[in-house]
Every structure is written in structure tokens, then in C-alpha cells.
Amino acid sequence: MKRTVKSPLRDVFARNMRLLRAEKGWSQEYLAAEAGLNRTYLSAVERSEQNISLDNIYKISLALGASASDLLKPNLRTKKT
């Protein structure tokens, strides 16, 4: 897999996706299935190693029940915080 340079925005997205996924008790495999994405791709996105398209951000946000803009907020507040 081609590695991309990490970016602060991808780090924020990855953190928020991981937090919301964990809050739901979902595995990466389950989230990938719900979003219609490949699990290895989703895993790389969650590690900020893979760039992500707007379409895939939207798919993940729908699966998690969050807005796409929430997934890009630096200080996302989850139910646990």
C-alpha cells in the first residue's frame, strides 16, 4: 500500500471515527460492513495511513450515525465525555 504523509485533519478524523466506533462497541470489520467499505481500507484510515474521499467520509458518518462535519471536529464530545 502506498503510504501518504500524515496530516492533522486525517488524524482528527481517525481519532473521532475510532472513538465513535468504540462507543458503539463495534469492530472495524463491523463498521466496514455497515459503511460498505473494505476492512483493511478502513483500518488504514483509522491509523491515518490512508487518504479518504468525501464519499467515504459520508458513508462512515452514516454508518456511525454522526454528521460528516462532526467526524472532522478537533474536539468531538462523545457520550462518554
Q: For the chain, list the domains and their CATH numbers.
A: 8-71 (1.10.260.40)
Q: How many C-beta atoms lie closer than 10 Å to residue 77's C-beta?
A: 9
Give me the pLDDT at residue 80, please.
Answer: 53
> How much is the pTM?
0.86
Average pLDDT for runs of 10 along the chain of length 81: 74 96 97 98 95 97 97 80 44
Give me the pLDDT at residue 81, please.
Answer: 44
